[in-house]
Structure 1
């Protein structure tokens, strides 16, 4: 049985270097590891308890929660927007945190990685993503990190999937995350 990891990318931009980093993870996932790059975050409305009911649950939230239920672990890719986590990624964490104590993140391992233009690679945003995922019930792997600085120049001519150093480091993140994966609930 393979390990299923759900990858959530905080940037919706097609050419996002964090999306490219997630594509590299999918491409270089070890045998026995299936990484699903979730494509529907743009379709998930901002979290609102008024619509988080059986009668009015938005299709985007249903799809996200179903994908999360099938996952044994989560790999979050966070760029840094104004020094913190992008709203898209935070919104996904909010939807996956509910119902309180039993959300799709609850008890499942979470690793956070990313790249940003600045010289620290988005560490503030990634730290905020770890904090939010942990409060939401995820089992955050605090020591599994990858922050790649200078994204716009480093990946201007080379896709992360073709950068040997990035592939080595990303593969190690996946290996360590996989070691903590749990059996999916669905």
Structure 2
């Protein structure tokens, strides 16, 4: 069975992040052909083109992880109807220097996670706009908006809601097909 390396980006840095808990649940529910790895974006220096002559080691490491991945999975909370700055910064860093876009052509998917009822709808779609520009073919269906996240996990961070578990499992099965269809091997 062919294995596909999936880089997982979580836009929330909070230790108790529901996005991180959801990412871990997705990793546990993923089909065997997907090998998922969390990519730390919390320590990335802010993008500044003046630093490109000698890029920070964190930028280089991020770009290498993106290049090594077959696919990309993004989890985002919603901050002020958009994505967190740390996630946008990672996209900017990975898309540079000009003409060397590490994201180019990598199949991706977006999951937004929120404690509210709207489920991060605005952030989900803002992130999709940025991914379109950096040429990440992003899975359109099923859409993944996880609302009321505070009620879905136990005190140890385990997903306890069976219908959410089944949805996330089916989402990862669809993502597996998406990756297999779009991966550049």
TM-score (norm 2): 0.89
Report if aligned partners of 1:117, 1:150 keep a CA contact under 8 Å in 2: yes
Structure 1 outlier segments of 4+, above 3 Å: 99-102, 153-162
Counting only pairs closer than 5 Å after superposition, residues 26-175 of structure 1 correspond to structure 2 as 26-38=27-39, 40-53=40-53, 56-155=54-153, 159=157, 161-175=159-173
Q: After superposition, give the CA deviation of every residue in 1:96-139 in whole Å (9 maximum; x if it has no partner).
A: 12234541210111110021122111010011011111111211
Alignment partners' CA distance in 1, 2:72 and 2:89 = 15
Deviation (angstroms), 1:15: 0.5
Alignment partners' CA distance in 2, 1:7 and 1:107 = 16
Equivalent residue for 1:11? Answer: 12
Distance 1:13 1:173, change over 3 A: same
Structure 1 residue 23 corresponds to structure 2 residue 27: no
Deviation (angstroms), 1:175: 2.0
Alignment partners' CA distance in 2, 1:46 and 1:138 = 22
Deviation (angstroms), 1:42: 1.4
Q: Look up the SS of the partner of 2:111 in the other structure.
A: strand
Q: After superposition, give the CA deviation of every residue in 1:19-46 in whole Å (9 maximum; x if it has no partner).
A: 00001111222112101111x2111111
Distance 1:117 1:60, change over 3 A: same
Alignment partners' CA distance in 2, 1:52 and 1:127 = 29
Ranges in structure 2 where 5+ consecutive residues have no aligned partner:
none
Aligned-pair Cα RMSD in Å:
1.8
Ranges in structure 1 where 5+ consecutive residues have no aligned partner:
none
Alignment partners' CA distance in 2, 1:97 and 1:138 = 11
Report if aligned partners of 2:116, 2:147 keep a CA contact under 8 Å in 1: yes
TM-score (norm 1): 0.89
Alignment partners' CA distance in 1, 2:24 and 2:125 = 22
Alignment partners' CA distance in 2, 1:175 and 1:70 = 22
